[in-house]
A and B are shown apart, each in its own frame.
Chain A
Amino acid sequence: MKVMEETIEELRKNPATEHALKNILRRIGLTVPEGIECKNLPDNIDLRYPVVLKVSDEKILHKTDIGGVKTGIRNREELQSEFKKMKDKFPESSFLIEEMIEGGIEIIVGLIKDKSFGLSIMVGMGGINTEIYGDVTFRLIPIEPRDAEEMIDEVSIGKFTGSGFRGKYVDRDNLVNFLMKISEIGSLSDDFLEQLDLNPVKINGKDIYVLDAKLIKT
């Protein structure tokens, strides 16, 4: 796993903007939406509509709360107008334009540091399920595949594996592999990582997309 180690080294040295972080996740074999980072809207973008426009600034951690995310942009005209609005709101920041991923279920995955126990990995159902129902579970880093399996079954995600639930389905093996990779990131970055938030992560059968990624260093 030389790629993994090199990648973590890069993460340690450089500021982790969402775009940089996603590129790193892509390099270690995770899937993120196709996207570009820019200060001004380029004449041509090689992306499939609909797209999502987000402010990309390390200093802004809760971009949705301050109007820094616009989803469902259907064409060039809409993009131009939304970009201008966003640019007026955040004149100093960069922006991320990404292809929008539709369908599937949303989960959250993260790494979080505890003073006594060090880094642990968290997985849970996304959206309100996390906040209202506490549908999340934790394990210490590193986990074994069996721990990942047990985590999936402890939260509602387990109900979507196997034959799925109401037409929505989660491929269990792929999700286990995904969690193993996040655990490995944790093992290699224990010295500088305080928190990693992948929220949401969208799962559609075998496909797992990291839609948003945040990293806080110690």
Chain B
Amino acid sequence: MFENLFDPESIAIVGASQNPSKIGFAIIKNLVESGYNKQIYPVNNNAEEILGIHCFRSLSEIGEKIDLCVVALPASSSIETVRECVNLKIPYIVLIPGGFSETGESGRGMEEEISKIIHETGTRIIGPNTVGVYFPYSRVNTALTPPDRISFPVPGEIAFISQSGALGLLTMDSISEYGVGISAFMNLGNRIDVNEIEMLDYFKSDLKTRSIAMYIESVENGGEFYNMIREVNRIKPVVVLKSGRTNASAKAASLHTGAMATDDRIFDGMLKQAGVTRAYNEVELLDYSRILAHSSPFKGKNIAVITTAGGVGVITTDYISASENGIGLNMAVLSENSRELIKKSIISFGSSENPIDLTADGSVSAYDSVLSILEEDMNVDAIIAYALPQTPKMNMGITDVISKHMERGKPIVVGVIGSKLGRELLIEFEKRKIPAYPSIERTVRSLKVLYEYGKYMEGREA
């Protein structure tokens, strides 16, 4: 199921346009710019070619097998195209237009008509009212946004399903800053056919995906959704950003998607029961999905911290041990042996107690030694290592050192502060699939998520 959607041999775009301000142009431009190098068939009854690609008058004129049809027509005229897709046995349609059930009764009527047309046929629909899909591995990008506005992430390990198309696009743009990748992006729109439940099931066994990020405003068939997310989460961790937590925001969500709100306390309990991580904003959503994709969950509450900046170590200690404005875990008490060994590897005025402070003398090789010592220490369950660019002896070599230690199994989360070398460091860590975050708080909270997932999974193995 869905192979032809995620890796299509050919894509037709109905409503293709030569006019750069039209959606039908942006989609083709995105496809070309992402490097999709299989068949593209623009359909437009006036134009000869768009961006140098030959245009067809109609879908049937193409005369070749079509795996995916992107429909960029107004709602009312898209119905006929859906019928044509069914006749031509096209397996997948991405139905871009809005103007359906989200606008009222007549829109709902059109959705019902489309549902009837595809019922018991081999044609499946994503949408309507979607910004499109983006699959970096197969370079399929049907996003309706002008390509000069948004950057799209590189291939990665996170499947991203968003009920808000625009938030999805913007979030993809944001994470691209540090080279964070995704395995797929889908905006399912009004979900008249393909829904989240089916997609969770798909990503559960998708080899490219290691965690799933979802933005949700409402859920239909809650019971079915719960059973699926609970099962999938035990195999691939899922992070959910659910909006509509208060009465005021629930009303906004309802206006946005036209759905009745569930009491947030029930939704929250459901997520806890399924062991699913909850995010409260788009930054957390991708932060948490990233650590769950890159790292193995751990048991135990004892955290060691390595820093070259005393203040950073102290603030991190606060965040680790406080339960308010913090995560309520423990600062590891290092074994006597570890402390002795650390003393020998760092400068005399540094701290061999946790948080371990290498001071301005901190070098990449000192990090290497200290990490080796902490790996052997049974009192340490996970490590936060700061890669801070302010000291002369710090350099990009830190990424290789941490990468080496990460492979040895004890979870390491990296914190980086700063923008000049800092940004480069973050990009290099991400390339090596090491979870690294540009602030103390984001580093510590992401670590907590990994701990919570490990705690939930204990005795509940898939």
Q: With CB as the reference atom, state the residue of chain A lying closest to B226.
A: A140
**B223–A137 touching, CB < 8 Å:** no
Residues of A within 8 A of B262 (CB): 114-117
Least CB distance from B302 to A in Å reads: 20
A139 to B225, CA, bound (A): 14
B-facing residues in A114-139 (Cβ within 8 Å): 114-118, 120, 122, 134, 136-139
B222 located at the interface, meaning its Cβ lies under 8 Å from any Cβ of chain A in the complex: yes
A150 located at the interface, meaning its Cβ lies under 8 Å from any Cβ of chain B in the complex: yes
**A138–B268 touching, CB < 8 Å:** yes
Least CB distance from A113 to B in Å reads: 10
Residues of B within 8 A of A115 (CB): 260, 262
B424 located at the interface, meaning its Cβ lies under 8 Å from any Cβ of chain A in the complex: no
Residue-wise, chain A 136-155 has the 8 Å CB interface mask toward B (1 for contact) of 11111001001100110010
B265 located at the interface, meaning its Cβ lies under 8 Å from any Cβ of chain A in the complex: yes
Residues of A within 8 A of B220 (CB): 116
**B226–A138 touching, CB < 8 Å:** no
**B273–A147 touching, CB < 8 Å:** yes
Residues of A within 8 A of B226 (CB): 117, 140
Residues of B within 8 A of A154 (CB): 272
**A150–B272 touching, CB < 8 Å:** yes
Residue-wise, chain B 136-160 has the 8 Å CB interface mask toward A (1 for contact) of 0000000000000000000000000
B-facing residues in A85-129 (Cβ within 8 Å): 112, 114-118, 120, 122
A-facing residues in B213-245 (Cβ within 8 Å): 218-223, 225-226
**A140–B260 touching, CB < 8 Å:** no
Residues of A within 8 A of B268 (CB): 138
B263 located at the interface, meaning its Cβ lies under 8 Å from any Cβ of chain A in the complex: yes
Q: With CB as the reference atom, state the residue of chain B lying closest to A151.
A: B269
B248 located at the interface, meaning its Cβ lies under 8 Å from any Cβ of chain A in the complex: no
Residues of B within 8 A of A116 (CB): 218-222, 225, 260, 262
Highest count of chain A CB atoms <10 Å: which of B267, B269, B459 = B269
B266 located at the interface, meaning its Cβ lies under 8 Å from any Cβ of chain A in the complex: yes
Least CB distance from A129 to B in Å reads: 15
A151 to B273, CA, bound (A): 9
Residues of A within 8 A of B223 (CB): 117-118, 140
Residues of A within 8 A of B86 (CB): none
Q: With CB as the reference atom, state the residue of chain A lying closest to B455.
A: A150
B364 located at the interface, meaning its Cβ lies under 8 Å from any Cβ of chain A in the complex: no
Least CB distance from B368 to A in Å reads: 40
- Pick the residue among A122, A140, A146, A150 that contacts B270 (CB under 8 A): A140
**A137–B269 touching, CB < 8 Å:** yes
Least CB distance from A141 to B in Å reads: 10
A140 to B269, CA, bound (A): 7
Question: Number of contact residues on A: which range applies?
Answer: 20 to 34
Least CB distance from B195 to A in Å reads: 13
Residues of A within 8 A of B263 (CB): 112, 114, 138
Least CB distance from A1 to B in Å reads: 22
A154 to B273, CA, bound (A): 12
B-facing residues in A45-93 (Cβ within 8 Å): none
A118 to B220, CA, bound (A): 11
**A139–B260 touching, CB < 8 Å:** no
**A117–B273 touching, CB < 8 Å:** no
A136 to B264, CA, bound (A): 12
Q: With CB as the reference atom, state the residue of chain B lying closest to A138.
A: B269
Residues of B within 8 A of A118 (CB): 222-223
**A139–B272 touching, CB < 8 Å:** yes
Residues of B within 8 A of A138 (CB): 263, 265-266, 268-270
**A117–B265 touching, CB < 8 Å:** no
Residue-wise, chain B 249-275 has the 8 Å CB interface mask toward A (1 for contact) of 000000000001011011111101100
Highest count of chain A CB atoms <10 Å: which of B222, B225, B460 = B222
A34 to B191, CA, bound (A): 54
Least CB distance from A157 to B in Å reads: 15
Residues of A within 8 A of B219 (CB): 116-117
Least CB distance from B375 to A in Å reads: 31
**B269–A139 touching, CB < 8 Å:** yes
Highest count of chain B CB atoms <10 Å: which of A112, A134, A140, A143 = A140
Residues of A within 8 A of B260 (CB): 115-116
A119 to B222, CA, bound (A): 11
Residue-wise, chain B 118-145 has the 8 Å CB interface mask toward A (1 for contact) of 0000000000000000000000000000
Q: Known: A139-B272, A139-B273, A143-B273. Contact between A114 and B265, CB under 8 A? A: no
A138 to B273, CA, bound (A): 9
Q: With CB as the reference atom, state the residue of chain B lying closest to A143.
A: B273
A28 to B360, CA, bound (A): 68
**B272–A117 touching, CB < 8 Å:** no
Q: With CB as the reference atom, state the residue of chain B lying closest to A120.
A: B266
A143 to B225, CA, bound (A): 16
A163 to B260, CA, bound (A): 44
Least CB distance from B448 to A in Å reads: 16
A-facing residues in B405-462 (Cβ within 8 Å): 459-460
Least CB distance from A88 to B in Å reads: 40
A147 to B221, CA, bound (A): 22
Least CB distance from A156 to B in Å reads: 14
Residues of A within 8 A of B265 (CB): 122, 134, 136-138
Q: With CB as the reference atom, state the residue of chain B lying closest to A113.
A: B266
Residues of A within 8 A of B221 (CB): 116
Residues of B within 8 A of A114 (CB): 222, 262-263, 266
**B270–A139 touching, CB < 8 Å:** yes
**What would be 16 A-B contacts, judged by CB atoms less than 8 Å apart?**
A112-B266, A114-B266, A116-B218, A116-B219, A116-B222, A117-B226, A117-B266, A117-B267, A122-B265, A138-B266, A138-B268, A139-B273, A140-B222, A140-B269, A146-B459, A154-B272
Give 19 new A-B contacts, CB below 8 A, not counting A114-B263, A120-B269, A150-B272.
Answer: A112-B263, A114-B262, A116-B219, A116-B221, A117-B219, A117-B267, A120-B270, A122-B265, A137-B265, A138-B265, A139-B273, A140-B223, A140-B226, A140-B266, A140-B269, A140-B273, A146-B459, A147-B273, A154-B272
Residues of A within 8 A of B (CB): 112, 114-118, 120, 122, 134, 136-140, 143, 146-147, 150-151, 154
User: Ordered nearest first, which 7 A-B pairs have the shortest CB separation?
Assistant: A117-B222, A138-B269, A116-B222, A139-B269, A138-B266, A139-B273, A114-B262
